[in-house]
Amino acid sequence: MADPGFAIIPSVLRREDVERIAAALETADLERSRAGARHLLTQPSVAALANDPRMLDIARQFLGSDPLPFRATLFDKSRTANWLVVWHQDTALPLRERREVPGWGPWSIKGGVTYAHAPAAALSRVIALRLHLDDSRADNGPLRVLPGTHTLGLLSEEAISRISQGAEPIDCLVAAGGVVAMRPLLLHASSKAQSDLPRRVVHIEYADALEMGDGLALAMA
């Protein structure tokens, strides 16, 4: 069976585990933006989640080796903090330092961390696990994906527009405690929330190794 580039895994964490993580993030001193917060692996609750055997087992199934968490982000969507995300691929990776290597770039700095857009070969070594702190429903802006599009490589905006107009998206609906696994090059989007129900997601990325070759290494963020 062809790899669709994503999977929905229900009931990975118990409700009480989820509530504990949500409470810790609520009281943590986070540098929040409208969409949530970046660079959360320094938070004890998130670091523990990233290294939870249940999460590592899922990541291992996609990477085929022992996974290493390197970045964590909180997405916090609600009626009051609402946004639309157009179809796109996740192509930027945090790196320890900047090196001019073919296929990497453009470069940027986000929250004091160096980032570069990565080549497809590097992104194929990454899997994102999205733990849901709230139920993801059709009316609160769920993740939408186009299965199989991660196999198409890095796509231009024109190609993304053309592909998204001719494909049937899938809404990733999952109850709190469930996980959506997603490959970075999978085309994905989300609509604005239409209800008052929050949709908080801890998005953790894993790689098969921190060394990316040519002297480049992933930063912990």
Digit-by-digit pLDDT tens for the chain (221 residues) are 578 999 999 999 999 999 999 999 999 888 777 668 999 999 999 999 999 999 999 999 999 999 999 999 999 876 666 667 899 999 999 999 999 999 999 999 998 999 999 999 999 999 999 999 999 999 888 999 999 999 999 999 999 999 999 889 999 999 999 999 999 999 999 988 788 788 899 999 999 999 999 999 999 99
The beta-carbon contacts of 46-52 under 8 Å, at least 24 apart in sequence, are: 46/21, 46/72, 46/202, 46/204, 49/21, 49/131, 49/202, 49/204, 50/204, 50/206, 52/13
Tokens of 145: 């994906």
The domain containing residue 76 runs over which residues?
6-207
213 found inside a domain? no
pLDDT of residue 196: 77
Instruction: Provide the domain count of the chain.
Output: 1
Structural domain includes residue 220: no
Residue whose C-alpha is closest to residue 85's, from 207, 201, 5:
201
CATH number at residue 202: 2.60.120.620
Question: Does some domain include residue 21?
Answer: yes
